[in-house]
């Protein structure tokens, strides 16, 4: 296996173009034959043809019908090289595959008796030798031949041409995709599947057939995905004027899938956990995720498929933009303020940690070892923030103008993030030269805020200074162009007029300042009293704010800010300050007492009858262990845990009656409803129950137990199960075994049972997890099983970093075991070691010992190797 890095600066356009490709698949039980006929053009004089191909068995290679002799081509581990070709020719390649033995789940593989493909990023080269790069786009015609009984459904991209009965128990389907595409968007499915159907009429009046496929018996759980698809299609027409461009849109749910879902043209393939849902089997969070991922994949049809990537370094061009689009869609479907809080939580928990760790990289990276490792929080979530900042700077109207320009310029092309930035900036008369540093510089910028008020002059001065910590290969940073939405409040919480020559009002009526220098000062005039600053509203930039605001201001904003994001942000900041003190006291062996002022403010929130329940649920969250791990100097899992439970139980003790009132008010109300409002009620009452459970009193445990047994939906059942699973009560084992017995044959649901046990804070969690890896329901080749048990455990900061256990060694063993079968899945587990530099010396040594052990394994994949070797 090659271990070198590839560099963006080495990019060279392809030396050949492909007019069209014809792919014939003959599927048998023990092998699959693929014949690929491509109409090729050599566009560079004398260039040799180098086709990508990995783990392929080549049967024959022909040019214009004549088989090549063995001295006319050369085969290496990763390429088929033909030194000399005509200028224009037909290339015919026959390969033989064994999908039933493909455990990497890229290329063509078999899941649960269904043949399916995953080609992004570089899986097509496991199907046939080809120019496997996104800037080679071509037209596809596909035939699939298979046993008619075993594989009645035969799908590929584009239009269904016909299906032929071959008479011998076999049949053959013909497909043609009218749109040119890169090979990473190719897809094929062959299996015995159930289906649900609906239609959507586009704004120009075309009728599109919509189909969602799943294994027989599960198709009735596909209706929520279908509804989500129709909502997405409508939203993209209304918001961006983008219409669907084929007669059919298909979604197929598959049990074994490395990622969430894949946007193959006209034929999306989904991890079944992101398709199948009904209220018995799926939680409110599942319903929400399904809606957003269905939307995400649908939106790729324009941002990714019609306009695609020039090379993989540009991945954020489609992913950042499409995440931004799905976040905006979710905001419109639910509650904009709450959605923003959730998106920022995810960004900070995952991406900020990544950007502060050993694998920090820019949104548009410059080098990599494994292309698959590009699918990161930075490319997706920070990439989305970069797009959002563009929209903030030019306003929504301006952004729409830029998007229209982007499609006008680049439809049908393979382009770069530079092209996108130009399409947004130019029609809006903006200069994004400095702004584009967001694409090129890694690390989370820090903005320091200092305030001064001059009573005599009536002037308020805001001084800002930006810095950015050094990151791998980037010791020094140039200043970023940072849009900062803000307001000033008077002492009653009313917005004050912003009298400052540097304030801008964008077309959405939002006040913002654009920080471009390292240090800048902003003077606001005509203020008779000291104003209270509300800064970084809606989290208008992905930065860390260092703002030593007085406590009075923080409490004031928590109660009164007109920006709901900031109200919750202030609650988080106050919670964080308090936890920080508790952690320090725990480490010094001092008693942990809770600041009364904070308790009073939280209690007031709990008692606030006017506050929207879903927003209240967000206000009541206290910073997670993952956030503490970023904010604290040392990752001391025991101190974190004690600080958090001390605070949570104090809140519960103080508000026992009120929390019970909330619980009873919303419990059992519309238990089957999928309305976002009802989701909010349930989130709040289940959070109330979680708080109450900290009291460890029998009355509360009995309520949780009753909720488990009488639950009418999965949200309530899972909440109760999670609570019981984290106790030593007699209820625990009964609930867990009941859940197992009910769902053991349901591949999607049983994963929740693994997660409930992997995420507890009980001391024996590691032993439970070890035992579960040997449980009959756990299959280490199934990514969902691995993620829900092992990755969930790796993210369990308290128990993964418990100094009294050998968790690191166990985890390293599992990474090695999985890596040999499926490098992509193994690589996703490696992030558990991202906090190594925060550990105390003894723990750090333990972790590094394991990392070194893994890296020393010669056969370790480049995926895992790239991520691990940077930590040592
Ligand atoms: N393009 C997919 C998405 O974001 C991601 C994806 C699907 C993926 N399958 C993958 C990434 C396999 C890496 C490997 O919608
Ligand atoms: Zn995507």
Averaged pLDDT in 10-residue chunks for the chain of 872 residues: 82 98 98 98 97 98 98 98 98 98 98 98 98 98 98 98 98 98 99 98 98 97 98 98 98 98 99 97 98 99 98 98 99 98 98 97 96 97 99 97 98 98 98 98 98 98 98 98 98 97 92 97 98 98 97 98 98 98 98 96 98 98 98 98 98 98 98 96 98 97 98 98 96 98 96 98 98 98 98 98 98 98 98 96 98 98 96 88
Among the listed residues 174, 131, 129, the one whose alpha carbon sits nearest the alpha carbon of residue 155: 174
Residue 48 lies in a domain: yes
| Domain count within the chain | 3
The residue whose CA is least distant from atom 15 of ligand 1 is 262
The C-alpha atoms of residue 725 and residue 525 are separated, in whole angstroms, by 57
Any residues with CB less than 8 A from the CB of 774 and at least 6 apart, and which?
none
Residue 95 lies in a domain: yes
Token pair belonging to 799: 């128990």
Q: Which residue has the tokens 């040019």?
A: 63
Distance 320 CA to ligand 1 centre (A): 13
Q: How far is CA 449 from CA 307, 444, 538, in A?
A: 40, 16, 17
Q: Is residue 121 reached through a cis peptide bond, with omega within 30 degrees of 0 on the bond before it?
A: yes
Among the listed residues 281, 287, 295, the one whose alpha carbon sits nearest the alpha carbon of residue 239: 295
Among the listed residues 61, 20, 189, the one whose alpha carbon sits nearest the alpha carbon of residue 119: 189
What is the DSSP pairing of strand 66-67 with strand 57-63? antiparallel
What is the DSSP pairing of strand 544-547 with strand 446-454? parallel
Angle subtended by helix axes 862-869 and 807-819, to nearest 10? 150
Among the listed residues 297, 319, 569, 866, the single catalytic one is 297
The C-alpha atoms of residue 48 and residue 81 are separated, in whole angstroms, by 7
Which residues lie across from 212 on neighbouring strands? Answer: 196, 251
Active site residue 297: yes
The C-alpha atoms of residue 792 and residue 815 are separated, in whole angstroms, by 14
Residue 701 lies in a domain: no
Q: What per-residue confidence (pLDDT) applies to 1? A: 46
Residue 81 lies in a domain: yes
The C-alpha atoms of residue 109 and residue 800 are separated, in whole angstroms, by 33
25-56 burial code (b ≥16 CB/10 A, e <16): bbbeeeebebbbbbbbebeeeeeebbbbbbeb
Domain that holds residue 823: 744-872
Q: What is the DSSP letter of 834?
A: G
Q: Which residue has the tokens 């959605």?
A: 339
What is the DSSP pairing of strand 74-75 with strand 6-7? unpaired
Mutate to test the pocket of ligand 1, among 261, 305, 376 (most ligand atoms within 8 A of CB): 261
The C-alpha atoms of residue 287 and residue 837 are separated, in whole angstroms, by 37
- 457: Cα within 13 Å, side-chain hemisphere: 9
Chain Cα centroid distance, residue 174: 34
Per-residue pLDDT of 712-746, as tens digits, reads 999 999 999 999 999 999 999 999 999 999 999 99
Token pair belonging to 314: 């540009």
The C-alpha atoms of residue 734 and residue 721 are separated, in whole angstroms, by 10
pTM above 0.75, yes or no: yes
Quick count: other Cβ atoms within 10 Å of Cβ 580? 16
3-state SS of 732-794 is: HHHHHHHHHHHHCCCHHHHHHHHHHHHCCCCCCHHHHHHHHCCCCCCCCCCHHHHHHHHHHHH
Judge if the beta carbon of residue 381 lies within 6 A of ligand 1: no
The C-alpha atoms of residue 128 and residue 102 are separated, in whole angstroms, by 15
Q: What per-residue confidence (pLDDT) applies to 512? A: 96
Residue 31 lies in a domain: yes
Residue 229 lies in a domain: no
Answer whether 185's CB lies under 8 Å from 118's CB. Answer: no
SS3 content of the chain, % helix, strand, coil (to 5): 45, 20, 35
Residue 403 lies in a domain: no
Please identify, by atom number, the ligand 1 atom nearest to the C-alpha of residue 304.
1
The C-alpha atoms of residue 332 and residue 379 are separated, in whole angstroms, by 23
Q: What per-residue confidence (pLDDT) applies to 460? A: 98
Burial (CB count within 10 angstroms: exposed 0-12, middle 13-18, buried 19+), residue 814: buried
Token pair belonging to 488: 């000033």
Please identify, by atom number, the ligand 1 atom nearest to the C-alpha of residue 300.
15
Answer whether 173's CB lies under 8 Å from 183's CB. Answer: no
Mutate to test the pocket of ligand 1, among 104, 122, 259 (most ligand atoms within 8 A of CB): 259
Domain with residue 465: its CATH number is 2.60.40.1840
Residue 243 lies in a domain: no
| Residue ending a domain, choose from 515, 546, 577 | 546
Among the listed residues 260, 268, 257, 258, the one whose alpha carbon sits nearest the alpha carbon of residue 301: 268
The C-alpha atoms of residue 559 and residue 88 are separated, in whole angstroms, by 71
Q: What per-residue confidence (pLDDT) applies to 3? A: 60
- 435: Cα within 13 Å, side-chain hemisphere: 24
Mutate to test the pocket of ligand 1, among 260, 267, 316 (most ligand atoms within 8 A of CB): 260
| Residue ending a domain, choose from 546, 574, 601 | 546
The C-alpha atoms of residue 687 and residue 854 are separated, in whole angstroms, by 40
Judge if the beta carbon of residue 522 lies within 6 A of ligand 1: no
The residue whose CA is least distant from atom 7 of ligand 1 is 262
Distance 756 CA to ligand 1 centre (A): 26
Judge if the beta carbon of residue 822 lies within 6 A of ligand 1: no
Token pair belonging to 724: 């019981």
| Residue ending a domain, choose from 546, 579, 611 | 546
The residue whose CA is least distant from atom 3 of ligand 1 is 262
- 338: Cα within 13 Å, side-chain hemisphere: 23
Q: Which helix (H) or strand (E) holds 200?
A: strand 193-201
């Amino acid at each position: 296996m090659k271990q070198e890095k590839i560099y963006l600066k080495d990019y060279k356009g392809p030396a050949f173009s492909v007019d069209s490709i014809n792919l014939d698949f003959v599927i048998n039980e023990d092998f699959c034959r693929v014949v690929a006929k491509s109409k090729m053009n050599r566009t560079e004089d004398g260039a040799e043809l180098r086709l990508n191909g990995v783990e392929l068995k080549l049967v024959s290679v022909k040019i214009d019908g004549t088989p090549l002799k063995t001295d006319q081509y050369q085969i290496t581990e990763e390429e088929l090289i033909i030194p000399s070709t005509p200028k224009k020719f037909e290339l015919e390649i026959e390969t033989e595959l064994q999908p039933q033995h493909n455990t990497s789940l890229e290329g063509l593989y078999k899941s649960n008796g269904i043949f399916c493909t995953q080609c992004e990023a570089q899986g097509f080269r496991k199907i046939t030798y080809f120019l496997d790069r996104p800037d080679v786009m071509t037209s596809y015609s596909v035939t699939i031949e298979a046993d008619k009984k075993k594989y009645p459904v035969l799908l590929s991209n584009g239009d269904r041409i016909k299906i032929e009965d071959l008479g011998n128990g076999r049949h053959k389907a013909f497909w043609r995709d009218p749109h040119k595409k890169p090979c990473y968007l190719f897809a094929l499915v062959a299996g015995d599947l159930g289906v649900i159907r609906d239609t959507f009429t586009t704004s120009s009046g075309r009728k599109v057939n919509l189909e969602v496929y799943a294994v027989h018996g599960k198709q009735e759980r596909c209706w929520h995905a279908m509804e989500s698809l129709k909502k997405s299609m409508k939203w993209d027409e209304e918001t961006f004027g983008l219409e669907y461009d084929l007669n059919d849109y298909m979604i197929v749910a598959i049990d074994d899938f490395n990622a969430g879902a894949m946007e193959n043209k006209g034929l999306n393939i989904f991890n079944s956990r992101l398709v199948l849902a009904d209220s018995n089997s799926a939680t409110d969070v599942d319903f929400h995720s399904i809606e957003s991922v269905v939307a995400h994949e649908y939106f790729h049809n324009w941002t990714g498929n019609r306009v695609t990537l020039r090379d993989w370094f540009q991945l954020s061009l489609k992913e950042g933009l499409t995440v931004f689009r799905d976040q905006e869609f979710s905001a419109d479907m639910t509650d904009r303020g709450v959605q923003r809080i959730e998106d920022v939580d995810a960004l900070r928990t995952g991406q900020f940690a990544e950007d502060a760790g050993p694998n920090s990289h820019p949104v548009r990276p410059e080098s990599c070892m494994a292309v698959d490792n590009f699918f990161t929080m930075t490319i997706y979530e920070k990439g989305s923030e970069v797009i959002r900042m563009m929209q903030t700077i030019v306003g929504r109207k301006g952004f729409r103008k830029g998007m229209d320009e982007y499609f006008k310029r680049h439809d049908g092309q393979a382009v770069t993030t530079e092209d996108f930035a130009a399409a947004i900036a130019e029609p809006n008369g903006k200069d994004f030269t400095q702004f584009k540093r967001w694409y090129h510089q890694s690390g989370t910028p820090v903005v320091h805020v200092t305030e001064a008020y001059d009573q005599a002059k009536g002037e308020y001065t805001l001084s800002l200074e930006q810095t950015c910590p050094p990151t791998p290969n980037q010791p020094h940073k140039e200043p970023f162009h940072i849009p900062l939405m803000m307001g000033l409040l008077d002492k009653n919480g009313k917005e004050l007029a912003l009298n400052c020559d540097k304030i801008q009002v964008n077309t959405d009526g939002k006040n913002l300042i654009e920080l471009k220098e390292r240090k800048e000062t902003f003077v606001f005039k005509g203020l008779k009293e000291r104003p209270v600053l509300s800064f970084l509203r809606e989290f208008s930039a992905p930065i860390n704010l260092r703002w030593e605001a007085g406590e009075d201001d923080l409490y004031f904003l928590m109660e009164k800010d007109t920006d709901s994001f900031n109200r919750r942000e202030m609650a988080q900041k106050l919670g964080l300050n308090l936890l920080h003190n508790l952690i320090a006291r725990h480490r010094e062996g001092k008693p942990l007492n809770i600041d009364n002022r904070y308790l009073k403010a939280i209690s007031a929130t709990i008692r606030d009858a006017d506050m929207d329940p879903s927003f209240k649920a967000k206000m009541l969250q206290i910073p997670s262990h993952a956030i503490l791990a970023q904010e604290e100097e040392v990752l001391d899992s025991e101190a974190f845990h004690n600080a958090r439970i001390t605070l949570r139980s104090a809140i519960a003790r103080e508000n026992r009656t009120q929390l019970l009132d909330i619980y009873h008010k919303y419990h059992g109300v519309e238990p089957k409803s999928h309305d976002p409002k009802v989701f909010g009620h349930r989130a709040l009452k289940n959070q109330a129950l979680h708080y109450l459970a900290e009291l460890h009193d029998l009355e509360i445990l009995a309520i949780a137990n009753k909720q488990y047994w009488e639950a009418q939906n999965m949200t309530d059942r899972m909440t109760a199960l999670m609570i019981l699973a984290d106790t030593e009560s007699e209820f625990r084992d009964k609930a867990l075994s009941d859940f197992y017995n009910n769902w053991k044959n349901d591949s999607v649901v049983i994963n929740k049972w693994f997660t409930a046990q992997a995420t507890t804070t009980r001391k024996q969690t590691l032993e439970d997890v070890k035992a579960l890896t040997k449980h009959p329901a756990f299959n280490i080749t199934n990514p969902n099983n691995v993620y829900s048990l092992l990755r969930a455990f790796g993210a369990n900061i308290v128990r993964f970093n418990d100094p009294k256990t050998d968790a690191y060694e166990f985890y390293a063993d599992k990474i090695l075991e999985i890596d040999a079968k499926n490098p992509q899945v193994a690589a996703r587990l490696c992030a558990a070691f991202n906090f190594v530099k925060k550990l105390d010396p003894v723990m750090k040594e333990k972790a590094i010992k394991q990392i070194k052990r893994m890296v020393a394994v010669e056969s370790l994949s480049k995926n895992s190797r790239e991520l691990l070797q940077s930590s040592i």
